[in-house]
Amino acid sequence: MAFKDFPEQEQGVQLLQRSLERGRLGHAYLFSGHQLDELEALARTLAKTLNCQRPLKASGMAVDCCDACPSCRKIDGLAHADVHWVRPESKSRVILVDQMRELMREIQLKPAEATFKVAVIVAADRLKTEAANAFLKTLEEPPAKSVLILLSTEPARILETILSRCLRLNFAGEGRARFDAAQLEWLGQFSALAAGEQKSLLGRYRLMDVLLQKLAALRAHVDETLSARSPLEQHPDAEKDLREKWEDELKAAVEAEYRRQRAEVLLLVQWWLRDVWLQSLAAGPGLLNFPDLDGTQQVAKRLSPERAQQNLQVLEQTQRLLFTNVQEALALEVGMLKLQL
């Protein structure tokens, strides 16, 4: 992909291209947004533009990649010697200090085949404190002809000492996650089921089963998508140590992306519960996120504003629990049973 392929991120892309045109690109960036895969694509595009052999130019400076030359193809295939990626790994799905030390060693070396060395830290909010602190010196005094790009869907969890050393570009659009037609269709099913009487445990467990089926399908899709992109698929003859490293990275990447998408599904439910609360207050349709869902009003009629507001707190608490090592099914079961529907 080239920068022209991100029409919904025009503002952030224009800021990057203006810096490229003026030859004033920063040495460290934090790309934040709702979609980690989109942030990765933007980081790849910047890396390609910096090292493209046939770039689109403005004022004599490269401002977009051709997306077709050998350098661009290598970067897309994660096979470029001067573009390095770090992802959460280990069972705890964090970025370890040894990973950052290896990255810093690589970034200090002169470029092997390109103009710029580029380092991309995926899910930078998963940097362990020791890893983040070890990275500070490189952020403060980066090597010449190097660009560091941190990606995060949860920038609030990044240490302030890291944030203060990065130029931040927000690729979150209008400030809320974008839900596609499939997600909205699922929410309609969830809302309709919730609109039925939920006094019995059986009804509540049916509702939870709908949620668990959605999450299981999400995990399977994430696993399939990231496995197809993994260098494991592209380089089946790689050495054993390298394959083991890629396997660890893939497992960590799948878990991190699944958690992000799971949070998005729960946010979708939380916004629907917000509509229920607003309906219990007799708010007009102009304030609702999903004014066309019939189940919203039916649930709101059964609840006082106080009880409807408590549901929002339950979802927030469930989200916080899921950021810990709590068992997912247990946390969701407790949360669903606490909801007042």
pLDDT the model gives residue 176: 46
The architecture that CATH gives domain 3-170 is 3-Layer(aba) Sandwich (3.40)
Cross-strand bridge partners of residue 151: 31
Q: Which of 300, 272, 258 is nearest to 190 (CA)?
A: 272
Identity of the residue numbered 103: L
Going from N- to C-terminal start, the domains of the chain cover: 3-170, 181-338
Mean pLDDT of 102-131: 90
pLDDT at 205: 85
At 89 the pLDDT is 74
**Most trustworthy range by pLDDT among 44-53, 205-214, 280-289, 327-336:** 44-53
The side-by-side arrangement of strands in the sheet containing 117-121 is 83-86, 117-121, 146-152, 28-32, 167-170
**Mean pLDDT, residues 285-312 taken together:** 86
Tally the C-alpha atoms within 13 A of residue 13's C-alpha that lie toward its C-beta.
21
Measured distance between the N- and C-terminal CA atoms of the chain, rounded to whole angstroms: 45
- Model confidence band, residue 294 (pLDDT cutoffs 50, 70, 90): confident
In three-state secondary structure terms, 125 is: helix
pLDDT at 214: 93
d(CA 62, CA 49): 7
pLDDT in tens, 5-46: 988 888 889 889 999 998 888 899 999 887 888 899 999 999
pLDDT digits (tens, 9 = 90+) for 263-292: 888 888 988 998 999 888 887 777 788 888
How big is the chain by its Cα radius of gyration, in Å? 23
Give ∠ CA 300-303-308 in degrees, rounded to 5.
85
Q: What percent of the chain has pLDDT over 70?
A: 96
> 224 burial class (0-12, 13-18, 19+ CB within 10 angstroms)?
exposed
d(CA 341, CA 337): 10
Pair of tokens at residue 272: 């629907």
CA atoms within 13 A on the CB side of 29: 26
State mean pLDDT over 291-314: 88
Question: What is the tens place of the pLDDT at every residue in 54-98?
Answer: 999 999 999 999 999 999 999 988 889 999 999 887 656 788 899
State residue 90's pLDDT score: 61
Residues in the chain: 341
Closest residue by Cα to residue 2 from 28, 25, 20:
20
Q: What is the pLDDT of residue 31?
A: 94
Handedness of CA 193, 198, 202, 207 (dihedral sign): positive
